């Protein structure tokens, strides 16, 4: 009994003493997107000196906690404050300069004038309403409009994390090594820059994170009974796929490759099809969507009859936290429904 | 008395353990290895965990064939025949999602892996299938991703 007690006490003390390991947490939660050394990828770079020198620890911590709704960057509600602090500490280790400190006091600017300046100097990259550039992060494997995509400025996560002074500093200095230049160098005066800061802050009043359109409560599956036999349904699907301008890639059995061919269940058929233009565009918006591509419908026959099913892309959409994908997923949903209805009715 | 105190101690300890890992909808990892090596590590770890790779779909070959420029992008399908059979029988709805797949793509000299958290299948299956099996899939997938992340 005593021994158990002692062991537990020992375990307890180890748990209490061991501070969370920032590097380990970063590898587990961040490096897939931001790169093992913070060079970026699906996410923007985090290790550039111009970035680290211009953001305070609060900005990093709030960004991790709240994420960027609708802009791929997830929120991390389950990490403890200590864990988030450890991650921030690890990110800081990429710079030998101390973190800047910013006052929470709002800058005094004329948002109206700032709006005019914004339209002239910022909208081309950050979007007319601060919605950010198309796609996110850094482009390594695909062509994009910029080497680093301009973040959304009308985003609730960004606005919660960034103080006015941080935004002002970013505009004055720019972010060397990224497309974001210094607007002091580009000829804006200090007051004009404050005007732009006030305008960016005003996004907080009418922001739209795209989260409203996101459909977590949609059905996870599209599934219809077919009034035809399994074989007829498969043939109907092939015709429907082609008439929707998709290329049929392959038809095979669901169990193919998992078991020897004669043992495969012949009553579960998968049709894979694709529209390469669509696939290419969707991958540029979010390289993770390949997980659900190429397109696929599944035909099954059981005692209950013949059914055709597909994943519901509109449901999938919300898993990605990427508002830009919503439109692609809606399109995909409609294609699936049309193909399945054509083939089964 | 001792038992009571033990109970208290255990709950105190639970308080300090790292939070049970969140059911993230999408599981991702990065390998610092170039694509071919990471792909090898992935397939090796999949078999070590007792699953069969049923197919590798070469999305990049399809795209380049049609004139679109892209780096390496493949989809790896994997599963165990007995489990897949049991699942599609007990919950025919799941057929649309099975076998599970992993997207693996090159990012410069490194490689990124993405997959859907199998807990989603548990939600679809509802009461039809004991969720324990999906918990195991999830922990196996995490362990496979961990292997690829650490491979060198």
ipTM reported for the complex, 2 dp: 0.86
Render pLDDT for A110-154 as a digit per residue (tens, 0 to 9).
999 999 999 999 999 999 999 998 776 665 555 555 678 899 999
| Contact with chain A for residue B29, Cβ under 8 A | yes
In a domain, A211, yes or no: no
3-state SS assignment for residue A298: strand
Same domain, A183 and A293: no
Asked if A229 and A183 sit in the same domain, the reply is: no
For chain A, the domain total comes to 2
Q: Is the pLDDT of residue B77 over 60?
A: yes
What pLDDT sits at residue B70? 83
In terms of Cβ atoms closer than 10 Å to its own Cβ (0-12, 13-18, 19+), residue A36 is: middle
Partner residue facing B13 (CB), from A11, A74, A280: A11
pLDDT at A1: 60
State the Cα–Cα distance between residues B78 and A306, nearest whole angstrom: 25
Contact status of B47 with chain A (Cβ, < 8 Å): no
pLDDT of residue B24: 84
List, for residues A182-224, the tens digit of each pLDDT value: 999 999 999 999 999 999 999 987 655 544 444 566 889 999 9
Chain A residues with CB under 8 Å of B19 CB are 78-80
Domain CATH for A319: 3.30.310.70
Domain co-membership, A201 together with A255: no
Q: What average pLDDT does range A283-290 have in this prediction?
A: 87
Residue of B nearest to A268 (CA): B95
Composition of chain B by helix, strand, coil, percent to 5: 55, 20, 25
**A76 plus A198 within the same structural domain:** yes
* A237 pLDDT above the threshold of 90: yes
Out of A155, A174, A206, a domain closes at: A206
Is the pLDDT reported for residue A280 higher than 90? no
Nearest to B96 among A257, A291, A311 (CB): A311
Residue B18 pLDDT level (bands cut at 50, 70, 90): very low
Give the integer Cα–Cα distance in Å for B122 and A319: 16
Residues A227 and A165 reside in one and the same domain: no
| Same domain, residue pair A125 and A264 | no
Burial class (CB in 10 A: 0-12, 13-18, 19+), A316: buried
What pLDDT shows up at residue A212?
45
| Residue of chain A whose Cα is closest to the Cα of B120 | A220
> Distances in Å between the alpha carbon of A199 and those of A68, A115, A130?
20, 6, 10
Contacts of B91 (CB under 8 A, 6+ apart): B124, B125, B126, B128, B129
- Topology classification of domain B2-145: TATA-Binding Protein (3.30.310)
- Chain B touched by A257 (CB under 8 Å): yes
Backbone angles phi, psi at B77, to 5 degrees: -100, 135
pLDDT of residue B66: 86
Instruction: Scan residues 128-157 of A and list those with Cβ closer than 8 Å to B.
Output: 140-143
Which structural domain, as residue segments, surrounds residue A312?
A: 221-344
**What confidence score (pLDDT) does residue A15 get?**
52
CA B126 → CA A198, B120, B129, distances in Å? 50, 10, 7
- Does residue A11 lie within any of the structural domains? no
Tell me if A329 sits within 8 A of A288, measured CB to CB.
no
- Would you say residue A7 lies in a domain? no
Full DSSP string of B72-134? -EEEEEEE-HHHHHHHHHH-GGGGGG-S-EEEEEEETTEEEEEEE-THHHHHHHGGGS-THHH
Q: Do B145 and B24 form a contact (C-beta atoms < 8 A)?
A: no
C-alpha to C-alpha distances, B14 to A3, A11, A76, A279, nearest whole angstrom: 19, 11, 21, 46
Is residue A152 domain-shared with residue A238, that is, in the same domain? no
Contact A320 B69 (CB under 8 A): no
Is residue A144 situated within a structural domain? yes
B chain contacts of residue A298, beta-carbon cutoff 8 Å:
95-96
Regarding whether A143 and A114 lie in a shared domain, the answer is yes
* A8 within domain boundaries: no
Q: Is the pTM of this model over 0.90?
A: no
pLDDT at A216: 60
CB-nearest partner of B149 from A1, A27, A141: A27
- Counting beta carbons within 10 angstroms of the beta carbon of residue A200, is it exposed (0 to 12), middle (13 to 18) or buried (19 or more)? buried
pLDDT over 80 at B73, yes or no: yes
C-alpha to C-alpha distance for A331 and A329, rounded to whole angstroms? 5
Query: What is the C-alpha to C-alpha distance for residues A185 and A205, in angstroms, rounded to an integer?
Result: 30
Whether residue A238 is found in the same domain as residue A173: no
pLDDT of residue A59: 98
Q: Are residues A156 and A192 in the same domain?
A: yes
pLDDT over 70 (residue B69) = yes
**pLDDT of the residue at A239:** 97
pLDDT at residue A332 tops 50: yes
Domain ranges of chain B: 2-145
* C-alpha dihedral (B142, B138, A250, A319), degrees to nearest 10: -90
pLDDT at A204: 85
Listed residues A206, A232, A253: the one ending a domain = A206
Structural domain includes residue A252: yes
What CATH number did the domain enclosing A47 receive?
Answer: 1.10.760.10
- The span from the CA of A283 to the CA of A325, in Å, is 10
C-beta neighbour count of A288 within 10 angstroms: 25
- Which chain B residues have a beta carbon less than 8 Å from that of A46? none
How far is the C-alpha of B71 from the C-alpha of A140, rounded, in Å? 8
pLDDT number for residue A294? 83
pLDDT digits (tens, 9 = 90+) for A41-76: 888 899 999 999 999 999 999 999 999 999 999 999
Are B75 and B57 in contact, with CB atoms under 8 Å apart? Answer: yes
Residue in A16, A226, A257 to test binding to B, most B beta-carbons within 10 Å: A257
Of the candidates A173, A206, A239, which is a domain's last residue?
A: A206
Verify that A272 and A167 share a domain, yes or no: no
Domain co-membership, A323 together with A187: no
For residues B7-32, average pLDDT: 60
């Amino acid at each position: 009994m005593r021994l158990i007690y002692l062991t537990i006490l020992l375990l307890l003390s180890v748990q209490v003493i061991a501070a969370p390991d920032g590097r380990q947490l970063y590898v587990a939660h961040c490096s897939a997107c931001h790169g093992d050394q913070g060079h970026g990828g699906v996410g923007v770079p985090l290790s550039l000196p111009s970035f680290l020198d211009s953001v305070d620890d609060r900005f990093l911590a709030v960004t991790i906690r709240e994420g960027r709704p609708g802009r791929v960057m997830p929120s991390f509600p389950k990490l403890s404050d200590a864990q988030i602090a450890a991650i921030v500490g690890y990110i800081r280790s990429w710079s030998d300069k101390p973190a800047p400190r910013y006052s929470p006091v709002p800058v005094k600017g004329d948002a109206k004038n700032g709006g005019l300046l914004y339209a002239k100097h910022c909208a081309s990259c950050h979007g007319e309403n601060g919605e950010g550039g198309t796609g996110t992060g850094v482009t390594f494997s695909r062509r994009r409009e910029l080497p680093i995509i301009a973040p959304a400025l009308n985003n609730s996560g960004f606005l919660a994390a960034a103080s006015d002074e941080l935004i002002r500093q970013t505009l004055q200095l720019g972010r060397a090594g990224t497309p974001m230049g210094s607007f002091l160098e580009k000829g804006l005066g200090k007051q004009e820059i404050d005007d732009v800061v006030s305008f960016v802050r005003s996004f907080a009043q009418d922001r739209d994170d795209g989260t409203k359109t996101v459909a977590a409560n949609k059905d996870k599956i599209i599934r219809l009974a077919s009034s035809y036999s399994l074989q007829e349904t498969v043939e109907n699907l092939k015709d429907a796929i082609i008439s929707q301008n998709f290329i049929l890639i392959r038809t095979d059995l669901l169990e193919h490759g998992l078991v020897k061919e004669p043992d495969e269940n012949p009553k579960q058929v998968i049709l894979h099809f694709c529209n390469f233009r669509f696939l290419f565009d969707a991958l540029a918006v979010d390289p993770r969507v390949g997980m659900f591509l190429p397109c696929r419908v599944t035909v099954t026959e059981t005692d209950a009859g013949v059914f055709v099913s597909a994943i519901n892309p509109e449901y999938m959409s919300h898993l990605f936290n990427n508002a830009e994908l919503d439109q692609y997923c809606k399109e995909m949903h409609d294609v699936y429904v049309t193909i399945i209805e054509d083939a089964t009715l | 008395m001792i038992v009571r105190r033990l109970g208290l101690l255990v709950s105190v300890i639970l308080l300090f353990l790292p939070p049970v890992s969140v059911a993230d909808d999408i599981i991702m990892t990065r390998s610092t290895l170039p694509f071919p090596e990471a792909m090898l590590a992935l397939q090796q770890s999949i078999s070590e965990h007792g699953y069969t790779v049923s197919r590798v779909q070469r999305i990049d070959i399809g795209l380049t064939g049609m004139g679109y420029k892209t780096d390496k992008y493949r989809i790896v399908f994997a599963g165990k025949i007995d489990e897949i059979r049991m699942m599609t029988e007990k919950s025919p709805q799941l057929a649309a999602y099975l076998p599970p797949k992993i997207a693996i793509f090159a990012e410069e000299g490194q490689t990124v892996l993405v997959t859907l958290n199998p807990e989603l299948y548990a939600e679809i299956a509802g009461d039809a299938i004991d969720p324990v099996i999906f918990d195991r899939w999830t922990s196996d997938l995490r362990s496979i991703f961990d292997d690829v992340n650490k491979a060198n």
